[in-house]
Amino acid sequence: MSTASRNPFHDVVIVGAYNTEQAKMLPDRTEADLLIEAIRGALDNAGMDKSQIDGVNTSTWKTGWSSREGAYLLGGRPSWTGSEHGISGVLEAAAAIATGQCESVVMASAQCGEYVDRSATVTWTRPSNEFVECWGLYTAAEFALIAQRHMHLYGTKPEALAEVASAIRMNGARNPEAVMYGREVTPQDVLDSRMVASPYHLLDCCINSEGGAGIVMTTAERARDLDVEPIYVLGGTGDKQGMSYVTAPVWDRYGDVGARAARIAFEQCGLTPDDVDVLELYDPFSFEVIRQLEAYGFCKLGEGGDFVMDGRLRIDGSHPVATNGGLMSFSHAGVTQLLQKPIAAVQQLRGEVPEVLKVPDARVAITSNGGAGALFVDLMMLGKDKP
Amino acid sequence: MIPLPTPTPLSEPHWQGCREGELRVQKCRECATHLFIPQPACTNCLSQDLEWVLSSGRGRIYSFTVVHRPQQVSFEVPYAVGIIEMEEGFMMLSNIVECPVDDVAIGMEVEVEFRKMSDEITLPYFRPSA
């Protein structure tokens, strides 16, 4: 149906990408302090100065920073502001740059200090919603309700889920910047870990952590003056089917969320799943990765469980997933991890990753945020080569 | 005490029904779709001509999960959360009670069991059908 032209983002590039320290807790930091470090780090990585910035998107979780506060902090001259998080915010900024509303955008996000009552699950997993909270639900259980239905319909096995979790966690284990650096996990380790919400064992679930991240985007023309490798925004969009964590996560309704977004993103850049070298898929829970492989067209519906076996998702496999360790083992800090998917892709495409985590000849990456349990997906393709 | 829902003007008829031992949901007069969670218009045809009707309170488990790590300490683990596909076609979340968690299964027939939690809130749990 869509006749979207090639390269709709008209040479919008990411030129800076930066993560602060990520840790289970950063008791000596504040969100403002992490945010500022992320902004400065991203600008430095881009080789740009704040005087060159005319667009901003900033957010913190607990202290509730908005982009307008970020604009003020940067001296008031960033006049364009974005309001979306993660990939949605990157696409929002890309559209603003592509339409000439601004030229260079810094985007940053940070979280710390939110998780204090450790007897409960962290607050972002359990918003106080009328028809959900009283049943003891939280994100792991909501995503589990999606996984269980798929396992019932297609015979998907716990071993497939464990393979996904192990593959991703082994990347984090070998990434010095990851929260879970050094913590190797086999599929059997996943199956042996205590059950959280069936079928999800502890190690099928992402961590929670603290930290900040930032990126800088500009035009390819502006990037020519910079001594960095620009990464091109090839395409992307979002599927948002309803409110997260407010109503029952029904597989029949939401099981293919993101399929439309992927189809549009591939059409925008004239590529197919076979052209993708790196898959920075949102990995809040192991089955959600399997679900996305099916929904985005990497394999057929119901066949994702078999697809992930034989090491396909590992760094040296045909479909390397969450190469920095993902939400499972790199970091999950408020909404900062949404932005860390594009950052992981940029770093991988630039080869700015530990040797042992390098995907050979990586030229095209797919990135995603969201999930069926949350009723939304934002998706974006990035590339090393000018389209 | 577990966290209890806060009714809204939109949802109050549902919670009143629960207090009276009846599972009440909206039904669209134009396309006959039953709606849950309460909405200001029909999510199938957008009609605002909605009425509150009585559900049979019977359905089948569509999906479930057994939770071992509690959302917060007031929930006693393990507990089963289910999505129940009701006879009338709508879906609702609840806990499956009066059933060992290991016996909960997709396809199991269940029926509503009301439990008073406070003066304001009675919750609709589900137990295996007799």
- DSSP collapsed to 3 states, A187-231: HHHHHHCCEEECCEEHHHECCCCEEEEEEEEEEHHHHCCCCCCCE
Q: Is the minimum CB–CB distance between A136 and chain B shorter than 8 Å?
A: yes
Contact A15, A46 (CB under 8 A): yes
Phi, psi angle pair for A52, to nearest 5°: -90, 0
pLDDT tens for residues A87-114? 999 999 999 999 999 999 999 999 999 9
| Inter-residue contact B59 to B85 (CB < 8 Å) | yes
Q: Does A146 touch chain B (CB under 8 A)?
A: yes
Give the residue from B69, B115, B116 with the most A CB atoms within 10 Å of its CB, the best one to mutate. B69
- Kindly report the nearest CA distance between residue B87 and chain A, in angstroms: 16
| Closest to A163 in 3D by CA, of A305, A331, A337 | A305
A72 touches chain B (CB under 8 A): no
Tally helices (H) and strands (E) across chain B. Answer: 1, 8
pLDDT digits (tens, 9 = 90+) for A337-359: 999 999 999 999 999 999 999 99
- Closest by Cα among A233, A245, A295 to A269: A233
Phi, psi of B91 (to 5 degrees): -110, 140
pLDDT recorded at residue A5: 62
CA angle B88-B92-B94, nearest 5°? Answer: 135
Rounded to an integer, the average pLDDT of A248-272 is 97
Give the pLDDT confidence score for residue B119 in this predicted structure: 97
pLDDT for the residue B130 = 82
Hey, is the C-beta of A12 within 8 angstroms of any chain B C-beta?
A: no
How near does any CA of chain A get to the CA of B44, in Å?
A: 13
Contacts of A202 in chain B (CB under 8 A): 69
Look at B92 and A131 and tell me if their CB atoms are within 8 Å. yes
The partner residue sitting opposite A145, judged by closest CB among B6, B63, B69, is B63
Tens-digit pLDDT profile for residues A120-145: 999 989 988 999 999 999 999 999 99
**pLDDT higher than threshold 50 for residue A76:** yes
pLDDT of B128 above 80: yes
* Gap between the Cα atoms of A387 and A363, Å rounded: 11
CA distance A276 to B97: 47
CA distance A323 to A235: 21
Mean pLDDT of A159-166: 98
A137 interfacial to chain B (CB closer than 8 Å): yes
Average pLDDT score over residue span A247-261: 97
pLDDT of residue A22: 98
Distance CA A275, CA A383 (A): 11
Task: Find the helix packing angle between A286-295 and A139-154, rounded to 10°.
Answer: 60
Mean per-residue pLDDT of chain A? 96
- Taking the Cβ of residue A49 and every Cβ of chain B, the question of whether any pair is shorter than 8 Å is answered with no
A32 phi/psi in degrees, rounded to 5: -60, -45
CA-based nearest distance A182→chain B, Å: 26
Q: What is the mean pLDDT of chain B?
A: 98
Q: Kindly tell me if the per-residue pLDDT of A2 is higher than 80.
A: no
User: Could you identify the residue written with the tokens 């009283």?
Assistant: A134
Contacts of B11 in chain A (CB under 8 A): 130
Label residue A4 by pLDDT band (50, 70, 90): low
Instruction: Kindly indicate the confidence band of residue A7, based on its pLDDT and cuts at 50, 70 and 90.
Output: confident
In this structure, the number of other CB atoms found within 10 A of the CB of residue A350 comes to: 16
Q: Is the model's pLDDT at A78 over the cut of 90?
A: no
* Whole-number pLDDT of residue A128: 87
Nearest CA in chain A to B95: A135
Residue type for position A64: G
Under DSSP, is residue A12 helix (H, G, I), strand (E, B) or coil? strand
Q: Say if residues B109 and B128 touch (Cβ distance below 8 Å).
A: yes
Q: What is the pLDDT of residue B99?
A: 98
Please report the pLDDT score of residue A3 as a whole number: 47
Could you tell me how many CB contacts below 8 A there are between chain A and chain B? Answer: 103
HSE at residue B9, side-chain half, CA atoms within 13 A, is 1
Q: How many residues does chain B have?
A: 130
Q: Is the pLDDT of residue A296 over 70?
A: yes
Contact B71 A146 (CB under 8 A): no
Write the pLDDT tens digit of every residue in A205-241: 999 999 999 999 999 999 999 999 999 999 999 999 9
Please say if the pLDDT value at position A321 is more than 50.
Answer: yes
User: At residue A73, does pLDDT exceed 50?
Assistant: yes
Over pLDDT 70: what percentage of chain A? 99
Pick B71's closest partner by Cβ from A120, A131, A199. A120
Q: Is the ipTM of this complex over 0.90?
A: yes
Q: Is the pLDDT of residue B84 over 70?
A: yes
Q: Which residue in A has a C-alpha nearest to residue B2's C-alpha?
A: A134
* Separation of CA A15 from chain center: 18
Q: What pLDDT, on the 0 to 100 scale, is given for residue A387?
A: 87
Look-up of token digits 């396809």: B107
Measured between CB atoms, does A246 come within 8 Å of chain B?
yes
* Cis-peptide, bond into residue B83, ω within 30° of zero: no
**CB neighbours of A155 closer than 8 A, spacing ≥ 6?**
A305
Alpha carbons B124 and B19: distance in angstroms, whole number: 9
3-state secondary structure of A385: coil
